[in-house]
């Protein structure tokens, strides 16, 4: 199994249209702080998907788990809770039991809801984003900004606005923002924007491959 890369951050987030603005803000903020976002979107749907997911999580020195969509979805009578996010949180904690080796952060839109939806985390304070991109920027700053105070909130907003403006073109080219290729495009664009604005404070990190013809 590959060694853990401290700057790589696994994103365990919902992949739905309503989450798109928060997704773009999350990528913008993480790249501003010199991190490389990673997601399950990089893994093709094969029989070995779970093992490849485990390997991906093992490579990451941190993870963000947004539990704001742990709710009933789909039409009745087939409405079910969305278990992917808590499952991947448990997977990350199982792979990385030592918090010194892997920093994990819970994001939520509603205060105190995690106490009811996942009571084993009682006493752990999630980062509340209130379901807004600006809230995501603040949550990422609180989670990752302690070691890099040169990046100001207004700088994060400018980077997010720039990436937000690029997102419709990427979505048009890739058909969805929730594909491997679109994710790679967003990360690369975020890193390039961050390098131009925060070259003095960003640390070099490995590039993600850009699959120009993938959907």
Q: For 23-33, what is each residue's pLDDT tens digit?
A: 999 999 999 99
- Residue of 5, 24, 68 whose CA lies nearest to 187: 24
Q: Is residue 169 part of a domain?
A: yes
Burial class (CB in 10 A: 0-12, 13-18, 19+), 76: exposed
What is the share, in percent, of the chain residues with pLDDT greater than 90?
64
> How sure is the predictor about 208, in pLDDT bands with cuts at 50, 70 and 90?
very low
Tokens found for residue 22: 């928060």
Q: Is residue 206 part of a domain?
A: no
Cα distance from N-terminal residue to C-terminal residue, the chain: 28
> The whole model's pTM is what?
0.86
Tokens found for residue 57: 């999580």
Which domain CATH number covers 89?
Answer: 3.40.50.10140
Q: Is residue 207 part of a domain?
A: no
Round to whole Å and give the CA distance between 132 and 46.
34
Q: Is residue 194 part of a domain?
A: yes
Q: Is residue 154 part of a domain?
A: yes
More confident residue, 60 or 100: 60
| Number of separate domains in the chain | 1
Give per-residue pLDDT as tens, 120-136. Answer: 888 788 999 999 999 99
Domain span holding position 74 = 5-198
Residue showing tokens 């997010």 = 160
Round to whole Å and give the CA distance between 186 and 191.
9
Q: Is residue 214 part of a domain?
A: no
Tokens found for residue 60: 């990451």
Q: Is residue 52 part of a domain?
A: yes
């Amino acid at each position: 199994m590959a060694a853990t890369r401290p700057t790589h951050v696994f994103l365990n987030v919902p992949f739905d249209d309503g989450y798109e603005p928060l997704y773009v803000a999350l990528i913008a903020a993480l790249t501003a702080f010199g991190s490389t976002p990673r997601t399950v979107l990089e893994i093709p749907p094969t029989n070995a998907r779970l093992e490849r997911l485990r390997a991906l999580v093992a490579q990451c020195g941190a993870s963000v788990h947004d539990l704001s969509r742990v709710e009933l979805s789909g039409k009745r009578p087939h409405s079910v809770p969305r278990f992917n996010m808590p499952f991947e949180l448990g997977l990350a904690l199982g792979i990385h039991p030592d918090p010194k080796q892997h920093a994990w952060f819970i994001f939520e839109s509603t205060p105190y809801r995690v106490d009811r939806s996942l009571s084993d985390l009682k006493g752990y304070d999630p980062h509340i984003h209130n379901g807004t991109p600006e809230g995501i920027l603040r949550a990422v700053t609180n989670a990752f900004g302690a070691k890099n105070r040169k990046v100001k909130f207004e700088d994060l907003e400018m980077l997010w606005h720039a990436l937000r403006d690029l997102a419709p073109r990427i979505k048009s080219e890739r058909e969805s923002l929730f594909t491997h290729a679109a994710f790679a495009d967003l990360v690369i664009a975020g890193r390039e924007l961050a390098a131009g604005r925060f070259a003095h404070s960003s640390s070099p990190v490995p590039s993600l491959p850009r699959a120009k013809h993938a959907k």
